[in-house]
Amino acid sequence: MANFVFIGCGKIANFHADVIYGMNHSISAVCARKDSPNIMGFTQKYKIKKTYDSWQEMLRKERPDAVIVAVSWDQTENIIEDVIKSGLPCLVEKPVALSSKKLQKIINNTKKFSKNVIVGYNRRFYEFIPKIREALKTKDLISIELNMPEAASFITKNHSSDVVDNMLVFMSSHWLDLLMHLIGDVKVVKIYRKHSKNDNTFRSYNGLLYSIVYNAPIHLQSNFNAPSQMSITFNFKDVIYKLCPIEMLSIYSGMDCIEPDDKVKLRRYVPRIKEAYQADALYKPGFYLQIKNFIETCVEHKKKNEIGCNLEDALRVTELCEKIKG
């Protein structure tokens, strides 16, 4: 069994710890700031005996098998280079850095240890992702629709207003990473941007992206605070694969006709669902397979990491965020 330590003990750290604890691995220590309101509940829940307010001291004294880095979204870039240089396998929550320039510097300075690192883009590990991959291999892709209506007003209730300026890399990078994981590199063709002077939480990014590998357009719609669900739609020649909500895959083929009735006087045509799948929700979706992959590839070195997001992948996503933001 592997022994983990945590840097950070907030909500995301709990999702990782649930899996680690459920898999019968151990968590020997956690590091958090001295005034952390979360650390007592975290240590009690996962039976953690040691706490630190210095992660350097924790890594030096504990010498664990692996490290989970789940600190505040805007603090990771300040510590992650030195954590990686410890040589310990590291699963780090996104965003690794708030700019591609900063992330490139981290990559340049940690190349020796890059194979030990996985970035926490857990959507890659949804159980139905291979079905989309198979469809991309065997079917004729016509276009993709990407809708990212980030709930900026809700998020700023628990974060500083600075999060809105970094919303694409903080939140949207999840969806962009999943998209690029499936179709490869993406080019920005044209983006229309709009920011409200009266509402700091409103931004919009609408335009056209392009899949280089599949020679297909990607219609981007990102209107912050819109009453709409996050979705990615793959339009093939004769079938549609749609993620909406992102934890569910619906495959549509053909149309059904609904005749008028007492409530609706009009004839309606609706897409016919051929198949439907849901991500396993025993743990936070994607987290179990992500931790399993991390252990097998970075801790035990039993296989090559072919699914988990590495630092170079994260850099490409960050660069795409910056191009969309302009």
Does residue 76 sit in the same domain as residue 169? no
**Cβ distance 277 to 131 under 8 Å?**
yes
Does residue 135 sit in the same domain as residue 277? yes
Q: What is the CATH number of the domain that holds 293?
A: 3.40.50.720
Q: How far apart are CA 104 and CA 92, in angstroms?
A: 16
Q: Residue 17: CA atoms inside 13 Å, Cβ hemisphere, count?
A: 25
The two tokens of residue 235 are: 């339009």
Return all residues near 249 (Cβ < 8 A) that are at least 6 apart. Answer: 126, 128, 131, 132, 241, 242, 243, 275, 276, 277, 278
- Residue at 306: amino acid letter: E
Does residue 100 sit in the same domain as residue 142? no
Does residue 54 sit in the same domain as residue 81? yes
- Tell me the residue range of the domain where 172 lies: 126-282+316-325
Q: How far is CA 75 from CA 190, 200, 209, 308, in A?
A: 32, 22, 30, 22
Does residue 213 sit in the same domain as residue 114? no
Q: Helix H segments across the chain?
A: 11-22, 39-45, 55-62, 76-85, 100-109, 129-138, 152-155, 162-165, 167, 173-183, 287-294, 311-325
Q: How far apart are CA 29 and CA 242, in angstroms?
A: 41
Cβ atoms within 10 Å of 102's Cβ, excluding its own: 17
Q: How far is CA 26 from CA 46, 67, 272, in A?
A: 9, 12, 47
Q: What is the CATH number of the domain that holds 256?
A: 3.30.360.10
Tens digit of pLDDT at every position of the chain (326 positions): 899 999 999 999 999 999 999 999 999 999 999 889 999 999 999 999 999 999 999 999 998 999 999 999 999 999 999 999 999 999 999 999 999 999 999 999 999 999 999 999 999 999 999 999 999 999 999 999 999 999 999 888 877 778 999 999 999 999 999 999 999 999 999 999 999 988 889 999 999 999 999 999 999 999 999 999 999 999 999 999 999 999 999 999 999 999 999 999 999 999 999 999 999 999 999 999 999 999 999 999 999 999 999 999 999 999 999 999 99
Does residue 136 sit in the same domain as residue 251? yes
Does residue 95 sit in the same domain as residue 204? no
3-class secondary-structure state, position 76: helix
Whether pTM exceeds 0.85: yes
- Residue at 255: amino acid letter: M
Does residue 143 sit in the same domain as residue 212? yes
Task: Count, in order, helices (H) and strands (E) of the chain.
Answer: 12, 14
Please tell me the total count of domains within the chain. 2
Per-residue DSSP letters for 109-175?
A: H-GGGGGGEEE--GGGG-TTHHHHHHHHHHS-EEEEEEE----HHHHTTTS-THHHHTHIIIIIHHH
Does residue 133 sit in the same domain as residue 268? yes
pLDDT of 162? 85
Does residue 258 sit in the same domain as residue 292? no
Does residue 235 sit in the same domain as residue 166? yes
Does residue 320 sit in the same domain as residue 171? yes
> Exposed (0-12), middle (13-18) or buried (19+): which is 156, by Cβ within 10 Å?
middle
The two tokens of residue 125 are: 């590990």
pLDDT of 38? 94
